[in-house]
Structures are given as structure tokens and as C-alpha cells.
């Protein structure tokens, strides 16, 4: 399940790309499939170990172009362990909302991106996230949880303040917003509630089969109730 629109992001084979805060690796895997030289960075060593195993499996099964590479790196978003201008492109997906000092994190992204390089930042969209917070304190009041809700204009402004030029936006995962509203309403740890389990089956069907009905519904609803907003920007050359 990808949040970034890769056609818009435009990664090319051989480009060095950072997935900052890679989590379980969903974007890093797609970057690898497209022939990028991928660096997947996170603080969670367990996640990184699983991502590394998947990288090895993808290579062994011939899922990646010859010459591409993939590596995992443990690191801190506030002090990225990379040289200035090291990356052609960067993805920071669903990570900045977790970081109290997001200004420093953005400055680090700007530092390690090449002049002319492209950044895609995704965060929960304001309306969908506001409903989650209203329904459940447990949703966000956890260690490492969300510390803010961005308005799109606020996110764009902060990126511009550190030097990025914002090029556009996209929305994603409208069908996931009601699922999280249900979870927050019945208890975020209540995975056995019949409404939650029924909706989860629909989401799994959508992810695995991509039926025309759910894909059309997602596109129709994204401008209204998207779970995530993606902001695309570049570092001036």
C-alpha cells in the first residue's frame, strides 16, 4: 500500500534515494523494484531487520533490476548520518507528525538532498486525523505517537521556511479513514469488534485485488476524506 504517487515522484534507475523513517519498508521496496539505490533509515532495529530480509529475498527472486542496491541504516531524523547533498530523492512518509522538533528534521532532509533533488512528505490529513483525536485519546497518547495535526498550509509553510520549493500535492487512502474512525470509536486495541473486522476484510480485499469498485471509490473520496496528504517539493538547484 503506497502513499506516495510514484509516477509523480519520478524515481529513475540508479538514483540514490532515502526512505527516511521507513517503518516496515513499503516505499523502500517499491523504490528497489524500480531500480533505485535505496537507503532505508529508521530508529526501530526490529523493523530494519525485517526490511533487510525482504531486500535479500527480492534480490534472490529477481524482483529488482541488475545494478540496483538496497541497504538499511539505523539513525536519527534529527541528525541524519549522511553527507550533504547525498541523495537524489527522499521520501519521508508518515514520520514528521511523530517528531516534536520537526523543524530540525526538515532541515536535515534539506541538507542531505542534492540541489535539484525531490522530496515527498506524507502526513495524516487534517480532517481525518482530527476525527481520530476527537474519538480517542489512546490513538495518539502513546510513546512515539502523533504529537501534532498538520494543516496542509502549515506543512507547506514549514517546508518552505527551510528552503524547499513546494511543487504540488496528492491525497491517499480515503477508504482507510472510516476504518480508523471505527477503531477509535470502539477502542484502538479492539480488533475483534464485528464492524472493525468486517471493514478490515474490505481493506485487505482492496489492497490484494485492487478491484475497480474500491479503486474508483478511493479516487472519488480522496479529495474529501483522504487519510494522508502528500506534499511534493524540490531543493533549488
pLDDT score of 101 = 97
The answer to whether residue 139 scores a pLDDT higher than 90 is yes
CB 1 within 8 A of CB 26: yes
pLDDT score of 229 = 98
Backbone angles phi, psi at 38, to 5 degrees: -100, 135
In this predicted model, what pLDDT tens digit does every residue of 60-96 receive, in sequence order?
999 999 999 999 999 999 999 999 999 999 999 999 9
What is the third-level CATH fold of 6-124+143-173+227-234?
Rossmann fold (3.40.50)
Domain ranges of the chain: 6-124+143-173+227-234
Measure the CA–CA gap between 180 and 107, rounded to whole angstroms: 31
Measure the CA–CA gap between 212 and 209, rounded to whole angstroms: 9
Measure the CA–CA gap between 225 and 233, rounded to whole angstroms: 23
Confidence of residue 190 (pLDDT cuts 50, 70, 90): very high
Cell of 150: 498538520
Measure the CA–CA gap between 3 and 150, rounded to whole angstroms: 17
pLDDT mean across residues, the chain = 97
pLDDT score of 143 = 85
pLDDT score of 165 = 98
**pTM of this prediction?**
0.95
Measure the CA–CA gap between 192 and 153, rounded to whole angstroms: 37
Angle (CA) 219-223-126 rounded to 5° is: 130
Confidence of residue 207 (pLDDT cuts 50, 70, 90): very high
Mean pLDDT across 129-153: 94
Measure the CA–CA gap between 95 and 21, rounded to whole angstroms: 6
Measure the CA–CA gap between 97 and 95, rounded to whole angstroms: 6
Residue labelled with grid coordinates 478490515: 200
pLDDT score of 142 = 87
In this predicted model, what pLDDT tens digit does every residue of 92-126 receive, in sequence order?
999 999 999 999 999 999 999 999 999 999 999 99
pLDDT score of 144 = 86
Confidence of residue 25 (pLDDT cuts 50, 70, 90): very high
Mean pLDDT across 212-236: 97
Confidence of residue 222 (pLDDT cuts 50, 70, 90): very high
Confidence of residue 204 (pLDDT cuts 50, 70, 90): very high
Amino acid at each position: 500500500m503506497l502513499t506516495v504517487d510514484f509516477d509523480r515522484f519520478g524515481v529513475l534507475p540508479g538514483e540514490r534515494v532515502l526512505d527516511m523513517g521507513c517503518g516496515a519498508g513499503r516505499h523502500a521496496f517499491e523504490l528497489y523494484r524500480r531500480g533505485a539505490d535505496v537507503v532505508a533509515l529508521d530508529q526501530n532495529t526490529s523493523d530494519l531487520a525485517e526490511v533487510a530480509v525482504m531486500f535479500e529475498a527480492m534480490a534472490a527472486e529477481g524482483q529488482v533490476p541488475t545494478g540496483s542496491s538496497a541497504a538499511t541504516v539505523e539513525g536519527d531524523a534529527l541528525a541524519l548520518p549522511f553527507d550533504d547533498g547525498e541523495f537524489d530523492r527522499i521520501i519521508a512518509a508518515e514520520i514528521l507528525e511523530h517528531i516534536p522538533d520537526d523543524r530540525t528534521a526538515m532541515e536535515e532532509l534539506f541538507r542531505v538532498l542534492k540541489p535539484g533533488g525531490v522530496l515527498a512528505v506524507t502526513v495524516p490529513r487534517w480532517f481525518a486525523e482530527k476525527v481520530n483525536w476527537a474519538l480517542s485519546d489512546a490513538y495518539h497518547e502513546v510513546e512515539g505517537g502523533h504529537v501534532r495535526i498538520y494543516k496542509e498550509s502549515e506543512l507547506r509553510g514549514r517546508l518552505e521556511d527551510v528552503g524547499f520549493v513546494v511543487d504540488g500535492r496528492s491525497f491517499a487512502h480515503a477508504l482507510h479513514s472510516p476504518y480508523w474512525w471505527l477503531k477509535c470509536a470502539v477502542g484502538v486495541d479492539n480488533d475483534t469488534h464485528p464492524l472493525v473486522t468486517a471493514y478490515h476484510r474490505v481493506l485487505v480485499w482492496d489492497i490484494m485485488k485492487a478491484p475497480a469498485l474500491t479503486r474508483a471509490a478511493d479516487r472519488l473520496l480522496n479529495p474529501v476524506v483522504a487519510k494522508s496528504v502528500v506534499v511534493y517539493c524540490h531543493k533549488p538547484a
